Amino acid sequence: MTEDGIRCDGRRLDELRNISIKVGVLKNADGSAYIEFGKNKILAGVFGPRDVHPKHMANPDSGILRCRYHMSPFSVTERKNPAPSRREIEISKVIKEALQPAVILKDYPRTVIDVFIEVLQADGGSRCAALDAAAVALADAGIPMRDLVSACAAGKVADRIVLDVNNEEDQEGQADMPVALMPNLGKVTLLQLDGMLKPEEFKTCMQTALVGCKRVYEIQRKALMEKYFQNGEQ
Amino acid sequence: MNSQILDQLKREKILDLLKTGKRIDGRSLDEQRPLVIETGVIPKANGSARVKLGNTEIITGVKIQLDKPFPDLGDKGILICTAEILPLADPNAEPGPPNEEVIELARVVDRGIRETEMIDLHKLVLIEDKSVIGMFIDSSVIDSGGNLFDACSYASVAGILSCTVPKWEVKDDVPTLVEGVTSKPPIKTLPVSVTMARIGDYVIVDPTKDEESCMDARITITTNSEGNICAVQKGGSDGFTAEQLIQCAETALTVGRKIRKQFEQLM
Amino acid sequence: MSQKPTLPGDKIAIIEEFEMGDNTFDDGQSIRSLVVGTPEFDKTNRIAKINEMRRPAVAKSGDVITGNISALMNNMFAINILYINGKPTHSGLECICQARGAKKRILVRVGDIVTAKILNLLNGVVHATISEPELGVLFTQCNKCGAKVIAMGSNIKCIDCGYIEERKLSTRFGNSDFIKFNSN
C-alpha cells in the first residue's frame, strides 16, 4: 500500500471491488443469481420449499433452511479436491445462519429450502459474495423474507482499516472481518474476525464493513429491480 | 416422486410426434440443439469454457500442475477428466459423493478424450519416470437439460483448446517454472462425442431431459478428426440392433463434423 | 397510478395507517414487504398488501393440482403433487384427501393420476378434495394386468382382460393435455 492509501489493486481505503449481479441465471433452480465480486465468480441456486430428505430432518412446526457452500476444483490456484473441506462446511453453516433471520420459514412446515452456492473462482471475501448472491437467489425464488442480507468484509492492512479485503490483502493483512447485515432492519447476522484489532479499531472496522454492506445492498437492489421491473426504480 | 403412468403418457406423446418425423422441441431426429461455446471464463484456471447445449449448461476449468507420472506410465504426462452434477443444476441432484450415473458420465467424458489421443501425452514429460505435467479437466454441470455426456465432452475439449501450458525447465534434475512463458497444449486431434437415444423404433440425436426420461437405450460415440471411431458407451436398460448401431456410427461422424468446425474456430 | 415496486424489507406503510395484508409483516412500527412485488393499498378496509412477482411452488387453498396417488389409507389418500394450476413442480410435496364413503367403493388406487382442488392448509398438512365432477382420476391402469382401461360410466374396464373396477373419475378422464415438456 502506498503512503496516500492506494491499495495493491489501485483502490482507495474505502473502495469496494467491482460488483455485478445477475438474477435468474439458472433454468432448473427455483431461484438463482450469479455474482462477480472482484475476481470472485459465484453461482447461487435455491430449491424449495420442497419435500425434506432425509425425512427425519423435517420439522412439523416450521420449514428448515439448508445451505451448501462449495468450491469448484478450478476455483483456486492449486486444484482443489472436490470433496467438501472443513472450511467449506463451516462457511456453509455461517451463511445459513446469516440468512435464517431473514427467511420466513413458519409458513412452510415439513419442507426445506435448499441454498446451493458454487464458487467458480475464488478471490478473498468469497463468503460475503456468496451470501450476497444467495440472498438475491432466495428473493428470486419468491421466498418470503423480512429483508435482504448484504455482506461485505473490512480489515486491517498495513495498520490501516480498509474496506473489502482482497486475496493478497487477506494473506498479508493483519485482520479480516466479514460482516452481513439486514440493511432495512439494521441487524447484523454474520460477524467473524481473523486477526488482531484494538478496541477502537474493532469499532471502525465494523462501521467500515457496514458502510460496505449498504453499498452492496444497492447493487443487489438494482439487480432484482432490473430483473422484475424492466424500467428499474422510478 | 416419479410417476410411472406419467412417464408412459409422456412417452406416448413423444412417440406420436416421432411417427410424423418431429420432436417435442421441433427438431428433426438427427438435429442437435444449438451449441454455444465461450472460453476463458475462469481466468484463474489455465483453461476454461462455458458451454450451452440447449438448456444444458456446463463450466469446465483446466488446471495444469507439476506431477509425478503413474508408476507404469513413466513416459506419459497425466490427463484426468472429471465431471460433477452440481446440486444447483437439477432438482434431483443431491450433494455428497457422486452416484454411479455421475461416475459413468465422468468416465465416458474422460475416455472420449483419452482414447482419441487428443493430447500427445509424451510431450508432457519433463523427466521420464520422475516428473511430468498433469492436466486436470474438471467439468461442473450447472444446469441440466439432458445429454450431459456431449455437453461435458464439448466443454472439456473447449477448455483444453483454450489452455495455456506453463513452461518448466529442468535444472539439475529439478523442474523449475519459467515465469511468463506459456505454450499451447500438444493437440493431435479433435474428439467429438455424439449421443443418441432410442425411443421405440426411432433413434434421435442429442436427447433432452424429457426424451431421456422415456428412452429405451442410449449410445455415446466419440470420433476423431481423421474419422475414426474411438470410444463408445451404450447405456439404458434396453438394446439396439446391429443395423441401428452401424447407422448411429455414421450419424456420429456426420453430426460430429459440424461440431468439429466449431472447435476449429477456437484454435 | 402504478405503485413503486418493492423488495423484501421495504417499508410500505406505518402501522397506524394500515393493517398487514398478504406478503407483508410489521416490525413494530412499519409494515414492510416480504417479497419482490408491487404494493396495493385497500383504503376502505385499510389493508396494505404486496402482489408478488413470483410465488414458491407450494399449493394454496383454491389451487387445482394434478398428481399421482402415493399412498392409500383407511379413510384418506395422499397425492404427490406434480402440477399446480397447470404449472409443473418438482417439490415432491403431498396433499391429503379425505375419502368419505371409501369403504363402500374404490375411489382411487396408488399410482393413479388425479386432479384435485386444495381446500385448506391445517397444521402443515395440505387438504384437498376430488368431490367435484371435473376432479378425480385422469389416468389409471388395470389393477389386474396393468393394461389400458376405458371409462364405462363410473367404472373403468380393461381393454385386455376385461376386468371392471370402480373409480371416482374426472369428467376429463383420458385427457393428457396437462403434460408439459421443457422446450429444448
Give the Cα separation of C105 and B32 in Å (integer).
51
d(CA B152, CA B105): 8
Instruction: Give percent above pLDDT 70 in chain B.
Output: 99
Q: What is the pLDDT of residue C1?
A: 43
Q: Which residues of A touch C93 (CB under 8 A)?
A: 49-51, 111
Give the closest of B4, B12, B208 to C184, CB-based: B208
Q: Do C182 and B145 touch (CB under 8 A)?
A: yes
| A23-48 mean pLDDT | 97
Cα-based torsion angle of the residue sequence C54, C60, C65, C68 in order, rounded to the nearest 10 degrees = 110
Determine the length of chain C: 184
CA pair distance B145, B198, nearest whole angstrom: 18
Cell of B58: 456446463
pLDDT confidence of residue B250: 97
Domain count, chain A: 1
State ipTM.
0.94
How long a stretch of residues is chain B?
267
Cβ distance C8 to A185 less than 8 Å, yes or no, reads: no
Quick one: which of A72, A76, A110, A71 has its CA closest to A91? A71
CB-based contact, C90 to chain B, within 8 Å: yes
Give C-chain residues touching A221 at CB under 8 angstroms.
7
Which residues does chain C have within 8 Å of residue B207's beta carbon, measured at their own beta carbons? none
Mean pLDDT of C141-170: 91
Range list of H helices, chain B? 4-19, 100-115, 148-161, 209-213, 242-264
Among candidates A50, A60, A141 on the partner chain, residue whose Cβ is nearest the Cβ of C92: A50
Q: Which residues of A38-59 are buried (b: 16+ CB within 10 A; e: fewer)?
A: bbbbbbbbbbbbbbbeeeeebe
Question: Which chain C residues are within 8 Å of B209, Cβ to Cβ?
Answer: 182
Could you tell me which chain A residue has the CA closest to the CA of C90? A50
Residue C119's closest CA among C63, C163, C74?
A: C63
- The shortest C-alpha distance from C124 to chain B (Å) reads 20
CB-based contact B138 A77, cutoff 8 Å: no
Question: Measured between CB atoms, which of A28, A41, A77 is closest to B91?
Answer: A28
Q: Which CATH architecture has domain B4-264?
A: 2-Layer Sandwich (3.30)
Chain-chain contact of A111 with C58 (C-beta, under 8 angstroms): yes
Match 456410427 to its residue by C-alpha cell. Answer: B249
Of B12, B24, B91, nearest to C181 by CB-CB distance is B24
Chain B residues with CB under 8 Å of A27 CB are: 55, 143, 145
A47 at interface of B, judged by CB pairs closer than 8 A: yes
Angle between helices B100-115 and B148-161 (to 10 degrees): 40
Query: Which residues are CB-neighbours of B214 under 8 A, at least 6 positions away?
Result: B7, B8, B10, B11, B14, B199
Other beta carbons less than 10 A from residue B5's beta carbon: 16
pLDDT of residue C171: 93
Instruction: Test C179 with B4 for CB contact under 8 angstroms.
Output: no
Tell me if residue A150 falls in helix, strand or coil: strand
pLDDT at site B104:
97
Mean predicted lDDT score pLDDT of chain C: 91
CB pairs under 8 A between A and B: 93
Please answer yes or no on whether A39 and B86 come within 8 Å at the CB atom. Answer: no
Domain ranges of chain C: 11-52, 64-166
Q: Alpha carbon of B147 to those of A131, B57, B193: distances in Å?
A: 32, 10, 11
Residue A169 has pLDDT above 50, yes or no: yes
By a Cβ cutoff of 8 Å, what residues of chain C touch chain A? 4-5, 7-11, 23, 25, 27, 32, 34-36, 52-58, 90-94, 123-124, 182
Pull the grid cell for residue B112. 472420449
State how far the Cα of A209 lies from the Cα of A152, in Å rounded to an integer: 6
Closest CA to B22 of B204, B210, B240: B204
Gap between the Cα atoms of C5 and C39, Å rounded: 7
CB atoms within 10 A of CB C15: 14
Instruction: Give the DSSP letter string of C11-74.
Output: EEEETTT-EE-TTEEE-SSEEEESSSEEEEEETTTTEEEEEES---S---TT-EEEEEEEEE-S
Helix axis angle, A199-228 to A126-140, nearest 10° = 30
Q: How far is B59 from chain C (nearest CA, A)?
A: 19
Give the separation between CA C122 and CA C119, rounded to whole angstroms.
Answer: 10
Distance from CA of C104 to the nearest CA of B (A): 26
Average pLDDT (A126-131) is: 98
Nearest to B63 among A26, A32, A73 (CB): A73
Whether A50 contacts A112, CB under 8 Å: yes
Q: How far is A227 from chain C (nearest CA, A)?
A: 10
Judged by CB atoms within 8 Å, which residues 144-203 of A form the interface with C? 144-148, 182-185
3-state helix, strand, coil in chain A (%, to 5): 30, 30, 40
- A41: helix, coil or strand? strand
Torsion over CA: B206, B211, B213, B216 (sign): negative
Mutation site, A181, A229, A231, interface C, largest C CB count within 10 A? A229
Closest-CA distance, B215 to chain A, in angstroms, reads 21
CATH number for the segment(s) C64-166:
2.40.50.140
Nearest to C113 among B5, B145, B209 (CB): B5
Residue of B nearest to C180 (CA): B10
Distance from CA of A75 to the nearest CA of B (A): 7
Q: For residue A31, give the chain B residue with the closest CA.
A: B88
Domain C11-52 coded CATH 3.40.50: no
Question: CA neighbours within 13 Å on the CB side: how many for B163?
Answer: 26
- Residue of chain A whose alpha carbon sits nearest to that of B47: A74
What pLDDT, in 10s, does the model give residues C93-141? 999 998 876 566 788 999 999 999 999 988 778 999 999 999 999 999 9
Averaged pLDDT, B241-247: 97
CATH number at residue A172: 3.30.230.70
Q: What is the pLDDT at residue A234?
A: 43
Which residue in the set B3, B54, B92 is minimally distant from C184, CB to CB?
Answer: B54
pLDDT for the residue C153? 85
Distance separating alpha carbons of residues A146 and C12, to the nearest angstrom: 13
Provide the chain A residues 76-135 that lie in CB contact (below 8 A) with chain C.
102, 104, 108-111
On whether any CB of chain C is under 8 Å from the CB of A228, the answer is yes
pLDDT given at position C73: 87
The DSSP element (H or E) to which C125 belongs, if any, is strand C125-129
Contact flag C93-A221 (C-beta cutoff 8 Å): no
User: Contact A167/A126 with Cβ under 8 angstroms?
Assistant: no
Q: Which chains touch C (3 or more CB pairs under 8 A)?
A: A, B
User: B53 or A5, which is more confident?
Assistant: B53
Any domain includes A3? no
Give the pLDDT confidence of C56-65 residue by residue, as tens digits: 989 999 999 9
Q: What is the domain range of residue A183? A: 19-228
Name every residue whose Cβ is closer than 8 Å to that of residue B33 and which is 6 or more positions away in sequence: B25, B27, B53, B54, B55, B206, B208, C184
Nearest CB neighbour to C111, from listed B4, B91, B209: B4
Return the minimum-mean-pLDDT range out of B105-109, B151-155, B173-177, C33-37.
B173-177
Contact C137, C167 (CB under 8 A): yes
Average pLDDT over residues A88-106: 97
Mean pLDDT, to the nearest integer, of C42-60?
94
With H, G, I as helix, E, B as strand and everything else as coil, classify residue B27: coil
Percent of chain A with pLDDT over 70: 98
The minimal CB distance from B145 to the residues C67, C92, C184 is found for: C184
Give the separation between CA B38 and CA A36, rounded to whole angstroms: 17
Residue A35 corresponds to which cell in the numbers above? 455474482
pLDDT at C3: 76
Please provide the size of chain A in residues.
234
| Euclidean distance between CA atoms A27 and A104, whole angstroms | 24
Residues in chain B within 8 Å Cβ distance of C78: none
Contact B10 C179 (CB under 8 A): yes
